[in-house]
Amino acid sequence: MGAEARFGKASVRDADVGEKCVLVREDLNVPLEEGKVADDSRIRAALPTLELLRERGAAVIVVSHLGRPKGRDPELSMAPVAGRLGELLSVDVPVAPGVVGDEVEAMTGELKPGEVLMLENSRYEPGETENDPELSKQLAALADLFVHDAFGASHRAHATTEGVAHELHTYAGLLMERELVELSAVRDHPEPPLIVVLGGAKVTDKIGAIERFLRTADEILVGGAMAFSFFKAEGRDTGNSLVEEEGVEKAREALEKAEGEDCLLELPEDLVLGREFDANTERKELNGVDVPEGWMGLDIGSNTAADYSKRVARAGTVFWNGPMGAFELEPFAQGTRTVGEAVASAPGRTVVGGGDSAAALVEFGLDDEVDWLSTGGGASLEFMEGKELPGVAVLPDA
Ligand code: ADP
Ligand code: MG
């Protein structure tokens, strides 16, 4: 079934935008290194909506947050992001001197069809995170209609992700649409069997998703530091492994719940250990999961990686969130690489969410091999839990 078929929200595809001034919320919260964009994935993901609007003769005002500035902070100016966007769109993208106000209004008033202007970092305005109606009104005054394309920021009720949608005719952008279609397919009507691979640092970030998937998935395969909260809950030795203490009780509850469900909750059967979190540390493989004193588990072992890969290959649908180990350290990247390769070559539908999981796929050159790589880390997890995202709830029905 096509993407449009299941999308019940007003879409930018159907918006009359010619000669109009359109405010577009994108999630351009990209990593910067030495003042340059270090990974432009999120900028690329925004292109389809921006290109569609330009082709249809809209004047385009782009707004996003970048990092967490407390007020104006030149280090977190949108300038490098606008520069990269301009290269990708082959058009000059100037940056307004602020988010709202007279000078900004003067610039947006001059904007011609097909032109693109970037507002400054929305978090320069304290009203952004406060979802201040006054700021939303000022934003609305800049444009004729609003296109919400920032799925990755839609779990926050801020002025640019929620408030302004009450002030202008609002449409979902193409990225927002694709995210919602892909993620709801996994959450609400997955092709069985649904295999969920969960890793990463903290079990408390992911417990909501685990609880939901215990009811809907066939197997949940656990890796990453998160596994040690489960091992601790089982009374095993975890050595110096990263154990999130708050997560141990949650893990115990999840193990108990799993008893009563048809879903299999799998933990690693072997590990790769290091002395410390460092690429040059002493390394050893452990055929088992009881971590001796003086060692920490930094990756899943080869038997676990092979077993998880076999399960992923049998899936009708795969959802993967969180690396299987400390993949940034080459000696401990193999588990994540093996599972990533299995997800990439799985015949079933494959959807990946999470900033570090996405970074891992990019690093291994596998990002184009999955069916959908979500731009939303926190947002995709909250969506999977079944929580209502304020920036999605505010989208009008078609
Ligand atoms: P995502 O962003 O994909 O949701 P998380 O942010 O939850 O993933 O977790 C990613 C982090 O978890 C990475 O920085 C990785 O180094 C760390 N990590 C994974 N496994 C381990 C481990 N066994 N020990 C220490 N850190 C780990
Ligand atoms: Mg992360």
What gap in Å lies between CA 175 and CA 47, rounded to an integer?
Answer: 9
Is the distance from the beta carbon of residue 362 to the nearest atom of ligand 1 less than 6 Å? no
Share of the chain above pLDDT 70, in %: 98
From 72, 137, 202, 314, the catalytic residue: 202
When computed from its CA atoms, the radius of gyration of the chain, rounded to whole angstroms, is 22
Nearest-CA residue for ligand 1 atom 15 is 326
Verify whether residue 84 is a known catalytic residue: no
* pLDDT category of residue 7 using cuts at 50, 70 and 90: confident
Tell me whether strands 283-286 and 271-274 are parallel, antiparallel or unpaired: antiparallel
Asked if 53 contacts 92 with a C-beta cutoff of 8 angstroms, the reply is no
Buried b (16+ CB within 10 A) or exposed e, 93-125: bebbebbbeeebeebbeebebebbbbbbbbbbb
SS3 (DSSP) at 26:
coil
Average pLDDT estimate for 151-172: 98
Q: What is the maximal distance between C-alpha atoms in the chain?
A: 68
Neighbours of 169 (CB within 10 A): 17
- Mean pLDDT in residue range 364-386: 94
Q: Could you tell me the distance, in angstroms and rounded to a whole number, from the CA of residue 208 to the centre of ligand 1?
A: 17
pLDDT band at 355 (very low <50, low <70, confident <90, very high): confident
How many whole angstroms separate alpha carbon 161 and alpha carbon 149? 9
Burial class (CB in 10 A: 0-12, 13-18, 19+), 327: buried
11 lines ligand 1 (CB under 6 A): no
| Protein residue with its CA nearest to atom 9 in ligand 1 | 200
Helix (H) or strand (E) holding 196: strand 194-198
Q: Which of 338, 339, 341, 372 is nearest to 354 (CA)?
A: 372
Residue 202 bears catalytic tag: yes
- Cβ of 336 closer than 6 Å to ligand 1, yes or no, is no
Q: What is the mean pLDDT of residues 41-66?
A: 97
- DSSP codes, 154-186: TTS--TTTTGGGGTSEEEE-HHHHHHHHHHHHH
Pick the catalytic residue from 274, 353, 355, 391: 355
Mutate to test the pocket of ligand 1, among 300, 356, 373, 375 (most ligand atoms within 8 A of CB): 356
**Active-site hit among 83, 378, 386, 387:** 378
Residues whose beta carbons lie less than 5 angstroms from ion ligand 2: 355-356
* 4 has pLDDT over 80: no
Name which residue sits closest to atom 5 of ligand 1, judged by CA. Answer: 200
Judged against a pLDDT cut of 80, whether residue 3 lies above it is answered with no
Cα 240 from chain centroid?
Answer: 29
Residues 310-344 have pLDDT tens digits of 999 999 999 999 999 999 999 999 999 999 999 99
Could you say which ligand is closest to the alpha carbon of residue 357? 1
Closest Cα to atom 10, ligand 1: which residue? 200
Decide: 321 in ligand 1 pocket, CB within 6 A.
yes
Token digits of residue 227:
């596994």
Predicted structure pTM score? 0.93
Active site residue 354: no
User: What is the per-residue pLDDT for 1?
Assistant: 43
Average the pLDDT over 212-230 and give the result.
97
